[in-house]
């Protein structure tokens, strides 16, 4: 199981598919999970691997979908109703699950997302320095000279010191890239932009003499200032990849009418349709109790 999951994780990572890796870091008896058990949760709510029974898995699925949205890791504490025997863990997300059969769990949920892409045009020393800094910062670098297009890029940097800079900028704008930087002087940058018919919105996306002002002179210093500006746009301004693929529609959630747990509806979620109304449950036990109560009413 572990080998298969490791291979699956490598496959998804190589394909650029976002997912959450869930790892059990602590478990109390009589939980069916053990420390080290792992699963992955995809954007459609499907789960591969094992991190516990129906109730624990349902809680992991629901919180993991939030983790995919925020991109922030979470330590999930799943506690049986009325049992808080695990010591408090700062930064943990706590779920008190009334249907858990016993045995508290702590599960680390880690989002594994595709790296941001920096599309780089130019073969100058500055361009090479930008590529080096970008890779160190976790960006995938796509060089225009290798035939790569700016589609899907988070940022585009043009550092060719001449050449057909206008067409590169136009292609990046048409691809929907939110940050386009031109390494040049202010004067030459304005001259380049004057060759392009730009809307006000397009002009806002183009940064001439790109980079934070740190008095940079050498190629490495210029690259540092350029990447600092891009990271600032990502971290503070919320810069996103250009026209990202349409995300998988988030699975529907429902409230278990027996225990009150919020459950994420998936193919394996216990379900029953009564008098034309669908009801969803965190585990088969709640469904059985519901059916018994409905039969007696």
Percent share of the chain, pLDDT over 70: 89
Q: Which among 206, 235, 264 is the end of a domain?
A: 235
71 and 160 in a single domain? The answer is no
Count the residues in the chain: 297
Residue 103 has pLDDT above 80, yes or no: no
Determine the pLDDT at residue 246.
46
Where does the pLDDT of residue 96 fall: very low under 50, low under 70, confident under 90, or very high at 90 and above?
low
Question: What angle do helix axes 186-194 and 165-174 make, rounded to 10 degrees?
Answer: 70
> What average pLDDT score do residues 246-265 get?
78
Residue 152 has pLDDT above 50, yes or no: yes
160 and 206 in a single domain? The answer is yes
d(CA 268, CA 159): 52
15 and 94 in a single domain? The answer is yes
Q: Kindly report, residue by residue over 120-147, the tens digit of the pLDDT.
A: 999 899 999 999 999 999 999 999 988 8
Determine the pLDDT at residue 147.
83
d(CA 110, CA 23): 8
Residue 67 lies in a domain: yes
| 8-state DSSP, 88 | P
Contact 89, 77 (CB under 8 A): yes
Where does the pLDDT of residue 102 fall: very low under 50, low under 70, confident under 90, or very high at 90 and above?
low
Percent share of the chain, pLDDT over 90: 49
Domain range for 225 is 117-235
Average model confidence (pLDDT) across the chain: 87
Residue 56 has pLDDT above 50, yes or no: yes
Determine the pLDDT at residue 55.
82
Q: In which residue are the tokens 């009564």 written? A: 274
Q: In which residue are the tokens 């572990």 written? A: 2
Residue 106 lies in a domain: yes
Query: What one-character-per-residue DSSP string does 232-260 give?
Result: HHHHTT----SSPPPPPPPPPEEE-TTT-
21 and 67 in a single domain? The answer is yes
Q: Which among 56, 91, 112 is the end of a domain?
A: 112
Determine the pLDDT at residue 248.
56
Q: Kindly report, residue by residue over 189-227, the tens digit of the pLDDT.
A: 989 989 899 999 999 999 999 999 999 999 999 999 999
9 and 106 in a single domain? The answer is yes
Reading phi first (left if > 0) and then psi (alpha if -120 to 50, else beta), residue 175 is in alpha
CATH of the domain at 127: 3.40.50.720
Residue 230 lies in a domain: yes
Q: Which among 87, 112, 137 is the end of a domain?
A: 112
Residue 247 lies in a domain: no
Query: What one-character-per-residue DSSP string does 177-188 give?
Result: -SEEEE-S-HHH
Task: Give the DSSP H/E element, type plus range, for residue 172.
Answer: helix 165-174
How do beta strands 253-255 and 206-208 pair?
A: unpaired
130 and 221 in a single domain? The answer is yes
Residue 38 lies in a domain: yes
Contact 27, 233 (CB under 8 A): no
Q: Where are the beta strands (DSSP E) in 203-297?
A: 206-208, 253-255, 262-264, 271-274, 277-280
Residue 158 lies in a domain: yes
d(CA 255, CA 278): 11
Q: What angle do CA 43, 46, 51 make, to 5 degrees?
A: 115
d(CA 279, CA 274): 8
Residue 245 lies in a domain: no
d(CA 131, CA 220): 10
122 and 219 in a single domain? The answer is yes
> CA distances (Å), 97 to each of 4, 55, 240, in order?
30, 7, 36
pTM for the full predicted model: 0.63
Tell me how many domains the chain contains: 3
123 and 227 in a single domain? The answer is yes
Residue 183 has pLDDT above 60, yes or no: yes
Report residue 272 as tokens.
């029953």
68 and 142 in a single domain? The answer is no
> What average pLDDT score do residues 107-113 get?
94
Determine the pLDDT at residue 46.
92
Contact residues for 24 (Cβ-Cβ < 8 A; gap 6+) = 33, 34, 35, 36, 37, 38, 51, 52, 105, 106, 107
259 and 280 in a single domain? The answer is yes
213 and 273 in a single domain? The answer is no
Reading phi first (left if > 0) and then psi (alpha if -120 to 50, else beta), residue 213 is in beta
Where does the pLDDT of residue 88 fall: very low under 50, low under 70, confident under 90, or very high at 90 and above?
low
- Whether the upstream peptide bond of residue 198 has omega within 30° of 0, thus cis, is no
Most confident of 71-85, 207-221, 243-257: 207-221
33 and 89 in a single domain? The answer is yes
Residue 139 lies in a domain: yes
């Amino acid at each position: 199981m572990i080998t298969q999951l490791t291979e699956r994780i490598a496959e998804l990572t190589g394909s650029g598919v976002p997912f959450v890796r869930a790892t059990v870091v602590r478990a109390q008896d009589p939980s069916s999970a053990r420390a080290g058990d792992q699963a992955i949760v995809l954007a459609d709510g499907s789960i591969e691997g094992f991190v516990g029974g129906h109730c624990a898995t349902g809680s992991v699925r629901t919180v993991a979908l939030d983790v995919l949205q925020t991109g922030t890791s979470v330590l999930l504490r799943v506690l049986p109703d009325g049992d808080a025997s695990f010591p408090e863990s700062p930064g943990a997300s706590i779920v008190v699950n009334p249907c858990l059969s016993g045995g508290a769990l702590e599960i680390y949920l880690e989002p594994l997302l595709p790296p941001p892409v920096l599309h780089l045009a130019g073969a100058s020393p500055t361009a090479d320095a930008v590529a080096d800094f970008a890779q160190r910062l976790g960006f995938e670098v796509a060089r225009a000279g290798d035939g790569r297009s700016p589609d899907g890029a988070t940022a585009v940097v043009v550092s060719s010191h001449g050449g057909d800079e206008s067409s590169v900028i136009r292609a990046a704008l048409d691809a929907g890239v939110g940050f386009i930087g031109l390494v040049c002087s202010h004067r030459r940058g304005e001259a380049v932009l004057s060759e392009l018919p730009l809307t006000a919105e397009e002009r806002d996306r183009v940064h001439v003499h790109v980079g934070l002002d740190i008095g940079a002179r050498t190629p490495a210093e210029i690259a540092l200032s350029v990447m600092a500006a891009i990271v600032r746009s990502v971290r503070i301004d919320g810069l996103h990849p250009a026209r990202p693929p349409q995300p998988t529609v988030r699975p529907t959630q429902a409230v278990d009418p027996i225990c009150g747990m919020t459950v994420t509806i998936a193919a394996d979620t216990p379900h029953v349709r009564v008098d034309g109304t669908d009801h969803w449950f965190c585990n088969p036990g709640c469904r059985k109790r519901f059916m018994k109560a409905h039969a007696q009413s």
